[in-house]
Amino acid sequence: MEIAMKAAARLLASFALAGFVTTGAMAAMSTTTTTPAATTTTTMAPTTKKPKTAMTPEKTAISKQCSTLADQKGLHGKDREKFRSDCKKNGGKAPS
């Protein structure tokens, strides 16, 4: 009996969650504006991510050079990120 009650509770929770998710998704996709003359509904397009730009061979070489320099210095974490950022801005040379 206890197993049946747990299964029923899980089923009920999954239905409640499914209804919430569907309602939330629908609310995010459309908005309704009420004006004195009429009610207008507009549907928003889903957001799209900006496509990544491909790195040129020159930028790839600079990035690898900066990684090599950071490895030689034994840098890790935020220090490494800062060093590589400055190095790439400097064209692959260690920042002064």
Tell me: the pLDDT tens digits for 2-14? 777 777 777 767 7
Question: What does the mean pLDDT of the chain come to?
Answer: 77
User: Is 21 a residue whose pLDDT tops 70?
Assistant: no
User: Is 25 a residue whose pLDDT tops 70?
Assistant: no
Give kind and range of the element (H or E) at residue 34.
Answer: strand 30-34
CA–CA gap between residue 82 and residue 95 (Å, rounded): 10
The answer to whether 62 and 91 are in contact (CB under 8 A) is yes
CA–CA gap between residue 44 and residue 24 (Å, rounded): 14
CA–CA gap between residue 86 and residue 88 (Å, rounded): 6
User: Is 78 a residue whose pLDDT tops 90?
Assistant: yes
The answer to whether 69 and 83 are in contact (CB under 8 A) is yes
